[in-house]
Amino acid sequence: MFFQVKRDGSMVNIHSDTSRIGQNISTKSVGSTKRMNITDSYKHTEGTKQERIIFQLAFARLETEKAGGGGTSLNGDKFGNQTTGINNGSPETTTQTADQICSPTPPPQLLIRFEEVSKPVNGEDVNLNMILSSTSSVTRELSININAQAMKYTGQPAGNIFTKPMKTRLLPGKDLTIPILIPFLAYNKLMTECESINISAMITDQQKSDHVFLAENRIVLMNPPISITVPGEGRLNQEMTVEVQFVNPVKEILRDCSLTLSGSGLFNSEIISRLPDLLPNNRVRVKFGFVPYRSGERTLLVDFDCTSFRDIKKSCRVIIRP
């Protein structure tokens, strides 16, 4: 559910989306790097009788907790109050496009989309455009508030990266391109512990203040490249070498650098190597020796960490002959 919080603290429900989350639950397949869909193992199929029973139970529980009481589970057991992060609301559904979430006034007369100017890479400025177009036959005066937040893997915001309020005019039949630039220095500290950046734009028609439009775009930053070189196949219980290379992509010194190597059948335990500070555009090249103790196809995993980056990982396949 999406709410607009006004200056007086009151909230207005802009949009409810019942199909945005919970559609795909995945895990890694056994013996393969392929994705396995396990959604049906965790939840009943949407719209079935069992799913509706669970939904009504959850909704009744929220109502009971809101009133300050306990509740009852499917088997009749009692449960007490628990703190939840879910906003209570009605089970009504609405249908919207993927690129646009807008006010419930039909038909929508403002189309919003995001376009990448360049691929988003951690260590570089994030550059994209927000493009507005209107089906209205009149010029529209718009108030726009653009916000970027660092998001944890749980979907919770970790902090605000920037907020950009602005006012503009959208001509009928014309596209309006608004550039959005997020400098590396603005998101760096927050993104060391986060997975993605959520960019949202709330747009209000100044002639019709009840016409509020909301669009979102989730950006997952690609990690800077790290390379692993293993010279061919290995032999069981015979020493091998692996070379790891990494180039500092940012205009600042990387401190507290470390490399962690691991791999079942290759290392008895993780190997952690502390590295010197890495100057801008400088390369670090490290060679490691190891003795594989299991034959077959093995996976070698490298993890680079420093003050500016976390968990820059790379893996490669290693064949060990008996």
Is 125 in the same domain as 214? yes
Give the number of other Cβ atoms within 10 Å of residue 55's Cβ. 13
Tally of structural domains, the chain: 3
Judge whether residue 77 has pLDDT over 70.
no
pLDDT digits (tens, 9 = 90+) for 261-309: 999 999 999 999 999 999 999 999 999 999 999 999 999 999 999 999 9
pLDDT over 90 percentage in the chain: 50
Is 53 in the same domain as 22? yes
CB-based contact 43:49 (threshold 8 Å): no
Q: What is the mean pLDDT of residues 169-197?
A: 91
Asked, for residue 11, whether it belongs to a domain, the answer is no
Q: What pLDDT was estimated at residue 51?
A: 85
Which of 168, 197, 222 is a domain's end point? 222
CB-based contact 88:67 (threshold 8 Å): no
CATH number for 179: 2.60.40.10
Asked, for residue 147, whether it belongs to a domain, the answer is yes
Q: Residue 145: give the domain boundaries.
A: 96-222
Q: What pLDDT was estimated at residue 87?
A: 33
Q: What pLDDT was estimated at residue 201?
A: 92
| Spatial distance between the Cα atoms of 317 and 196, rounded to a whole number of angstroms | 28
Q: What is the mean pLDDT of residues 246-258?
A: 93
Q: Given pLDDT bands bounded at 50, 70 and 90, which one contains residue 34? A: confident
Asked, for residue 7, whether it belongs to a domain, the answer is no
Q: Is 261 exposed, middle or buried (0-12, 13-18, 19+ CB in 10 A)?
A: buried
Which of 201, 222, 243 is a domain's end point? 222
Asked, for residue 3, whether it belongs to a domain, the answer is no
Is 205 in the same domain as 241? no
| Spatial distance between the Cα atoms of 78 and 76, rounded to a whole number of angstroms | 6
Is 64 in the same domain as 76? yes
CB-based contact 270:261 (threshold 8 Å): yes
Could you tell me which of 300, 301, 303, 287 has the C-alpha nearest to residue 234?
300
Asked, for residue 54, whether it belongs to a domain, the answer is yes
Judge whether residue 257 has pLDDT over 90.
yes
